[in-house]
Amino acid sequence: MTDPTERRLLTPEEYLQAQNSPEFAELKSRFRRFAFPMTFAFLAWYLLYVLLSTYAPDFMSTEVFGNVNLGILLGLGQFVTTFVITHLYVAHANKRTDPISDEMRERLEAHAYAPDGGTDSHETTGGATRA
């Protein structure tokens, strides 16, 4: 099933080394700088919509055209922003985070973060077993 080289587990030290590497710091920061503010933004926009619907029904009942009022338009706006944020996230991941994580994964597989630089003689401890 899995070939022998892949079965050689990474040691805890390798993970620590990888975590402390500058490229990982960059990966983490790129991921968080997008995900955290965006999460804050869409949650705030959603809660604003819920609060307006609840506590400002007259405002939300403002008719825009025919029987279509502001509340229904803003509700449909929630759908639009959800689709747009989905698209932005995928574009961000493809362009900004995937290249780093792909490269790091290859280096980890080659044991490039091992203290001895990844020579095959290195003994694995098995400390990095799966949960």
DSSP-derived pairing of the beta strands 63-65 and 68-69: antiparallel
* Closest CB 22 distance from other proteins, rounded Å: 14
Inter-residue contact 23 to 103 (CB < 8 Å): yes
Shorter beta-carbon distance to other proteins: residue 120 or 131: 131
Shorter beta-carbon distance to other proteins: residue 102 or 116: 102
> Cβ–Cβ contacts within 10 Å for residue 23, how many?
13
Shorter beta-carbon distance to other proteins: residue 39 or 116: 39
DSSP string, 9-45: PPPHHHHHHHHTSHHHHHHHHHHHHHHHHHHHHHHHH
* Closest CB 106 distance from other proteins, rounded Å: 9
Give the interface with other proteins as residue ranges (CB under 8 A). 1-2, 6, 9-10, 12-13, 15-16, 18-19, 24, 27-28, 31, 34-35, 38-39, 42-43, 46-47, 49-51, 53-55, 57, 60-61, 65-69, 71-72, 75-76, 78-79, 82-83, 85-86, 89-90, 93, 97-98, 101, 104-105, 108-109, 127-128, 130-131
Token digits of residue 40? 């804050």
Q: Which residues contact 12 (CB under 8 A, 6 or more apart)?
A: 125, 127, 128
* Closest CB 15 distance from other proteins, rounded Å: 4
Q: Is 120 helix (H, G, I), strand (E, B) or coil?
A: coil
* Closest CB 121 distance from other proteins, rounded Å: 21
